[in-house]
């Protein structure tokens, strides 16, 4: 899992996507024959570029990525892109344009590579000279791999890792772990690096639970004697030092973020224009006629990285002072007649498409809870805070599997968290579409906990 704090890639990568697409399209207009100049070709090369980049990880360049790895990505990207351009020329134009295509892809290669390396080395200088874009880290353990990592951090300030301290875990391991946990919270440490050789399975799980529940990045230095790989772990190399990330979340990758955000904008825009534009006036009249108060209900909830935002719904209850403290229960006297109908059909949630359009939520994701309930569940439910590594959603995998509405017992929230983490670690566009389809189907059929 990548760090969320201080990541310039949040802004730089979308910019480089747009810049690269602009370059390949502008260069096509100036370097290719007139037979290529069409909207169809521009769409074709733009989609081809993005699809190739997705498959080879062209934009997945991190502070620890080696230059040779970047060169390898560039070579693969342009080799495949050149083949695609040749294919277009042969199938749709029907003439040989070998020299023109090579000039086009070669010029684009030179320009895009220059920009890519400029950004890469500029950020390195920015970190080493100005001390910006830093991540505060600690290391747990000792041994050869730990010494190598310490040396790597100290000798490579341009990577932007600020090693604060090392807990060697020599004597009383449990006590030292507790001390390290307190240090992480007090000094706002971003990442924890843990040597597997110095901990048993129970102690490793303790470190994992602490990291998950406090939204800290956890990475492991592997031990040949312990088989600790799971399907969702990811192996990276800091220079030649192997480092295992606790879990690999698809939505940490920029291309997936772009795809999901694009889907959210398009889907929410369609709902706002085609549904809410006429539904809001109708429901506003019904809500106002039945009870005093605003049409919309606004409530503070926790979103991405635990940040609070105002979540909007159609008001379905009489005005009351405990709306932000107590969940709605079956036969709740606070619910109005109109409110009962819109809650049963899930129409009360539709204003959240404005939250989606503004980027505070996603169409699909873990359902956000009231701030007071989030704090309560964070204390009593293991790994509850992991849900905040992605944007909350209007609907989610847990909701389509029977865990929507009121949390009646601990089992409800535990399974909700399990489904949410599974969704995070296995996200795909097809999974989102399936969840949306199941949500609509369940709304039509009616759900027991829709009250």
Tell me which DSSP letter residue 401 carries.
G
Mean pLDDT in residue range 248-270: 87
pLDDT of residue 251: 85
pLDDT of residue 132: 67
Closest by Cα among 186, 217, 250 to 421 = 250
- pLDDT above 80: residue 154: yes
| Bridge partners (DSSP) listed for residue 218 | 192
- pLDDT above 90: residue 60: no
pLDDT of residue 181: 92
Report the b/e string of 293-326 with b at 16+ CB within 10 A.
eeebbeeebbbbeeeebebbbbbbbeeeeebeee
Closest by Cα among 371, 370, 374 to 384 = 374
Task: Please give the share of the chain, as a percent, with pLDDT higher than 90.
Answer: 29
Integer Cα distance of 134 and 119 in angstroms: 16
Closest by Cα among 27, 237, 46, 37 to 115 = 27
The CA-based dihedral angle spanning residues 166, 170, 175, 178, taken in that order and rounded to the nearest 10 degrees: 20
Integer Cα distance of 355 and 450 in angstroms: 21
Token pair, residue 134, equals 């830093």
Q: Which of 47-61, 122-136, 379-393 has the lowest mean pLDDT?
A: 122-136
Integer Cα distance of 432 and 438 in angstroms: 10
- pLDDT above 70: residue 323: no
Mean pLDDT in residue range 151-177: 87
3-class SS of residue 111? helix
* pLDDT confidence tier of residue 228, bands split at 50, 70 and 90: low
What are the φ and ψ backbone dihedral angles of 165, each rounded to 5 degrees? -160, 170
Tell me which DSSP letter residue 28 carries.
H
Identity of the highest mean pLDDT range in 219-223, 254-258, 332-336, 423-427: 423-427
List CB contacts of 388: < 8 A, sequence separation 6 or more.
215, 302, 303, 304, 305, 306, 366
* pLDDT confidence tier of residue 449, bands split at 50, 70 and 90: low
pLDDT of residue 276: 93
Integer Cα distance of 27 and 76 in angstroms: 20
Mean pLDDT in residue range 78-91: 88
* pLDDT confidence tier of residue 311, bands split at 50, 70 and 90: very high
| Bridge partners (DSSP) listed for residue 308 | 302
Asked if residues 181 and 206 have their Cβ atoms less than 8 Å apart, the reply is no
Query: Percentages helix, strand, coil for the chain, rounded to the nearest 5?
Result: 60, 10, 30
pLDDT of residue 4: 43
pLDDT of residue 326: 67
pLDDT tens by residue, 22-53: 999 999 888 888 888 888 888 998 999 988 98
| Bridge partners (DSSP) listed for residue 161 | 135
Residue that has been written with the tokens 């932007």 in this structure: 160
Tell me which DSSP letter residue 317 carries.
B
| Domains of the chain, first to last | 9-130 (no CATH), 135-248 (3.40.50.150), 254-445 (no CATH)
pLDDT of residue 112: 92
Token pair, residue 385, equals 């805070």
Mean pLDDT in residue range 374-397: 85
- pLDDT above 70: residue 229: no
- pLDDT above 70: residue 104: yes
């Amino acid at each position: 899992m990548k760090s969320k704090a201080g990541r310039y890639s949040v802004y730089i990568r979308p910019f480089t996507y747009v810049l690269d697409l602009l370059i390949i399209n502008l260069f096509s207009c100036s370097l290719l024959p007139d037979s290529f100049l069409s909207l169809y070709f521009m769409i074709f090369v733009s989609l081809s570029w993005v699809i190739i980049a997705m498959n080879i990880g062209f934009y997945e360049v991190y502070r620890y990525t080696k230059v040779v790895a970047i060169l390898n990505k560039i070579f693969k990207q342009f080799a495949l892109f050149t083949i695609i351009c040749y294919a277009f020329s042969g199938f749709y134009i029907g003439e040989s344009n070998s020299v023109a295509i090579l000039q086009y892809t070669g010029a684009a290669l030179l320009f895009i590579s220059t920009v890519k390396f400029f950004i890469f080395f500029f950020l390195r200088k920015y970190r080493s000279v100005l001390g910006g874009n830093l991540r505060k880290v600690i290391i747990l353990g000792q041994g050869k791999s730990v010494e190598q990592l310490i040396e790597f951090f100290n000798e490579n300030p341009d990577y932007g890792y600020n090693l604060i301290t090392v807990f060697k875990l020599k004597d009383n391991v449990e006590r030292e772990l507790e001390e390290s946990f307190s240090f992480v919270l007090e000094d706002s440490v971003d990442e924890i690096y843990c040597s597997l050789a110095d901990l048993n399975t129970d102690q490793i799980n303790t470190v994992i639970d602490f990291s998950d529940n406090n939204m800290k990045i956890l990475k492991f230095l592997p031990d040949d004697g312990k088989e600790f790989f799971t399907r969702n772990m990811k192996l990276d190399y800091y220079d030649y030092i192997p480092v295992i990330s606790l879990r690999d979340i698809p939505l940490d990758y920029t291309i997936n973020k772009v795809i999901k955000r694009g889907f959210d904008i398009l889907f929410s825009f369609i709902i706002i224009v085609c549904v809410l534009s006429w539904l809001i006036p109708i429901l506003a009249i019904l809500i106002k006629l039945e009870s005093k108060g605003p049409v919309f209900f606004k409530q503070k909830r926790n979103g991405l990285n635990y940040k609070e935002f105002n979540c909007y719904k159609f008001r379905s209850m009489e005005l009351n002072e405990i709306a932000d403290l107590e969940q709605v229960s079956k036969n709740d006297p606070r619910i109005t007649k109109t409110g009962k109908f819109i809650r049963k059909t899930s129409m009360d949630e539709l204003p959240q498409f404005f939250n989606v359009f503004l980027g505070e939520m996603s169409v699909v994701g873990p359902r956000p809870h009231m701030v007071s309930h989030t704090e309560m569940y964070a204390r009593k439910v293991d790994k509850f805070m992991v849900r905040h590594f992605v944007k909350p959603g209007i609907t989610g995998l847990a909701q389509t599997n029977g865990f929507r509405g009121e949390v009646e017992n601990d089992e409800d929230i535990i399974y909700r968290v399990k489904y949410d983490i599974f969704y995070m670690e296995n996200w795909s566009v097809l999974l989102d579409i399936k969840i949306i389809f199941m949500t609509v189907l369940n709304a039509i059929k009616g759900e027991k906990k829709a009250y």
